[in-house]
Amino acid sequence: MASGLVRVALAFLVLSFALLALYRNICWVSIVPAAFGAAIVFSLSSPLLLFVGWEIVSWTIFFSIILRGSSGGTESVPVVASRKNVVYLYVSFAALSAVFMLMWIFLSHFSYKSPYFYLAVVASVIKGAIIPFHLWLVPVYSSMDLSFTAFNSAVLSKLGLIVILLPLYLGADYSGVRNAVESFGLEVNFIRIFILLSSFTALYAAYRAVLTEDLVELLSYSSLSQVGYIFAGAFLSLSSGKDVASMALNGTMLHALNHALVKIPFFMLAYFVERKYGTTSLSETGGLYKKSPVLFFLVLPLAISLAGVPPAGGFVSKWLLYTSMLRAGYYVSFFLLGVAGVLSFLYVYRFLHSLFFERLKKDSLKEDDFLELKWHFLPTGVASVMTLIVGVKPSLVTNLLSSAIPEPLSLNVEAHLPTGSIAFAFLLLVIFSAFLWKISADHRYVPDTDNYTSAAVRLDQNPEISYDFSYGFYMPLKRPFRWLCYLNPEKLYDVLWEYLRDGLSYLRTLASGRFTDYIFYISIFAFVMLFVGKVFNTPCFLMIRKIFSFVGGG
Amino acid sequence: MSVLYLLYAFVVGAFLVGFGMKISARVKRKYGPPVYQPLMDVIKLLSKRSISHGLVQDLGVWMALAGSALLVLAIPVSPFPFINLDLIAFVYVSAIASLGVALGTAQVANPYASIGMARALMLMLGYEVPVLLTVVFFYFSLGTATLADLATLQKEGWFLFKYPLLSAGYYLALLAEMGKPPFDVVTAPSEIASGPMVEYGGKYLGFLVIYAFFHTFVSTALFAVLFLGGGTWWEVLLKQLVLYFSVVVVASSFPRFVSEKAVVYQWIVPSLFVILNFVVVAS
């Protein structure tokens, strides 16, 4: 079964890489090493190699952020400084994740089956940018070459997922994930907490995506939201009975696939917009439908999938995740994911409206600039067809995934959800509607500037007049949800920094410069570590003990 | 039989809308148009020459009509065949029609249409919350949210009487979902000239009117199935008439909420009713 998971994961990597390679101007220098690192992680050969692959990916991201600004030094100082801050931000979280991974590897003696597996899970949660470890994702995605962001969003965000699923495939001991603090006499079901955090991540990120005015931020927050869905489903598949676990696992895998199929074309479209328009502000883009109506119809199934609307694949995967949450009794998590699903409909519409239908204030772009859009047709079309296949006949895809799904957890999706009937009925009804439209009275096409309001401003004669409703599309939602600002996870870091700063200023007073004082402090620390309470079996103490025994030669 | 079901829904929807126009006029001490007026309007509109702003607007009306007709086929009304869906799938299938209207609106460069669509999506965020809580309630207390199962479970008593607070909460969400006052901020005729429908005329408006018929049928029939026991076609029809009468009377009696107040109201009041019913059932 583990070999099946490896095959499916590597096939997923190859598919994503192949889709991306069909575009022009992708950042090979970043994507190739990152794909190599991801392949090592997905191969699940040993914990140490998994860590090596993990770090190759992290270092590729560091350098891709730095290298993006190194083209001729034309960027302003604030932009260069902000990019450095993004690197430091990502280094902090990547280092934290690496520390947990190393602790797991070191304490488990390079074995997947050890009671310290929960440390790897924490590392995965950090890598997956689940709240409160989400701060790095949006700045990092915005600071890299967007073709690499596409790969990052589609593939690299799933590295943590494969580690979380290890208990199902390699017999990794996840009892510690359920209760990592037994040694303190506490009983805390961490799986429930992770599911709740993942669901809250999905909701919070979707809310931020609705309110943002930047295209790349919208797609980045959307990615964060979908990762929340995926991680919630993955944790649920570990913790529940067979029926619920099979729904959750199938939903997770389908959602991971749908997410990759959607995000690669969307980020590549954002890449095109950034280069040709010089901006990614949603109120300053537009007009893509007039330049390339074919592209709009190829993007539409992907947008529908992201919103979770049938007959696209996103509907199936979201339905599986929702239903498994309800059947397992995770009502709060279901509610959070459900509201996130409604919010996804809002930001998907904003994406389509701003990119394709808003009027460009000043269309100074040449026809040649849009020839590159033709390179988007094939990969976008392939992704659209695949997501429609998942939505109409999900059993085809789950059969392909069957080698990666343990036999007791396999699921015939169509026995639970009549996707075929929905799609077939919808298709017939659309054909009937088109027929009715055709036989009704005649019609003629007029330019979009010929409308109810245009007579006052003569938009056809004054194209530079901005008469679109484009800025602050969902601004009325900011006021009712200002209470959400008080739940802003970023503020948690501000509070922690204030306490840390105050604490560090106290510690500064302890730096007396006297050797005897330092011996006293180390003695107090050693006394606490060795003799107080139930710390003997914590990873921290064991690490210290191993270091002492190594230093002492015994 | 499915074709017959759609035809039945079309006729019932048209007469419900006509019935509503009559009641609304009588509330305001007017005579009102004949009950069959909406049918006449559709025939007139489909025979009028019209303009379109592009293929996406055409696709939008096809999707709106097809999506609303698909929802009809998902409501279990005896003896018509239906697609067996649960409430979660039903909510997402209902998004197809909304997406169709949204796409058609996107193509027109009229800011009123965009404002109306933004309001519609924000209002959707409002009324979906009590609907999601209703789904949770059904799973919590009954273990299922499949429409057919919920109708069957009411043989010994309607949920309207068994879970009155839940029914009240869903009723308030239904008002917003149908776009009736005080939640008619989406079209708001005196503000944004019908909002999403401002650029629709002739047969395009006719399609949207047919969409409104199906939408009215689906909304009232869904409430009848969820809280009034469902049943055969004539039982459901009677329930729809009574329900729609109450909706029209309420709609005629209240002014309009602004968009953010409408969303906040939906988040607080109907949700509170549902949560209170949770507490009652749990205790």
Tell me whether residue A433 is exposed, middle or buried, using C-beta atoms within 10 angstroms of its C-beta: 0 to 12, 13 to 18, 19 or more: buried
> CB B89 to CB A447 under 8 A?
no
Quick check: B186 and B208 in contact, CB under 8 A?
no
Can you give the pLDDT at residue A71? 46
Over residues A125-147, the mean pLDDT reads 87
Can you give the pLDDT at residue A404? 73
Task: Give the closest-approach CA distance of B269 to chain A in angstroms.
Answer: 14
Helix axes A313-328, A242-277, angle to 10 degrees: 140
Task: Give the closest-approach CA distance of B129 to chain A in angstroms.
Answer: 7
Task: Find the helix or strand (DSSP H, E) in which A250 lies.
Answer: helix A242-277
Rounded Cα distance, A161 and A178, in Å: 17
Can you give the pLDDT at residue A554? 41
> CB A326 to CB B93 under 8 A?
no
The DSSP code sequence of A303-356 is HHHHHT-TTSHHHHHHHHHHHHHHHHT-HHHHHHHHHHHHHHHHHHHHHHIIII
Instruction: Mutate one of B57, B70, B94 to test the A interface: name it (highest A CB count within 10 A).
Output: B70
**A418 closest CB neighbour out of B50, B84, B117:** B84
Per residue in A462-512, pLDDT (tens digit) is: 656 666 666 777 777 777 666 665 566 666 777 777 777 777 777 777 777
pLDDT at residue A366 above 70? no
> CB B129 to CB A469 under 8 A?
no
Per residue in A158-174, pLDDT (tens digit) is: 888 888 888 777 766 66
Task: Give the distance from CA A414 to its chain's centroid.
Answer: 27
Tell me what percent of the residues of chain B surpass a pLDDT of 90.
52
Tell me whether residue A136 is exposed, middle or buried, using C-beta atoms within 10 angstroms of its C-beta: 0 to 12, 13 to 18, 19 or more: buried
Task: Give the closest-approach CA distance of A9 to chain B in angstroms.
Answer: 29
pLDDT at residue A234 above 60? yes
Over residues A291-320, the mean pLDDT reads 92
Rounded Cα distance, A157 and A125, in Å: 10
Residue of B nearest to A314 (CA): B92
pLDDT < 50 regions, chain B:
none
The DSSP code sequence of A199-232 is HHHHHHHHHHHHH--BHHHHHHHHHHHHHHHHHH
Over residues A367-376, the mean pLDDT reads 76
Interacting residues of B269 by C-beta distance below 8 A, sequence separation 6+: B169, B172
**A342 closest CB neighbour out of B70, B124, B202:** B124
The torsion defined by the Cα of B62, A215, A390 and A414, in degrees rounded to 10, comes to -80
Per residue in A65-113, pLDDT (tens digit) is: 887 754 444 455 555 567 777 888 888 888 989 998 888 888 887 777 7
Residue A108 DSSP label:
T
Q: Which residues pair with B232 in a beta bridge?
A: B78
Per residue in A43-52, pLDDT (tens digit) is: 887 888 889 9
- Count of Cβ atoms closer than 10 Å to residue B264 Cβ: 16
The DSSP code sequence of B185-201 is TTT-HHHHTTGGGTT--
Quick check: A180 and A258 in contact, CB under 8 A?
no
> CB A334 to CB B65 under 8 A?
no
> CB A445 to CB B54 under 8 A?
yes
Residue appearing with tokens 């650029």: B199
Instruction: Mutate one of B110, B192, B199, B268 to test the A interface: name it (highest A CB count within 10 A).
Output: B110
The ipTM assigned to this model is 0.92
- Arithmetic mean of pLDDT over chain A: 81
The model's confidence at residue A192, banded by pLDDT at 50, 70 and 90, is confident
Tell me which residue of A383, A139, A376, A348 sits closest to A275, measured CA to CA. A376
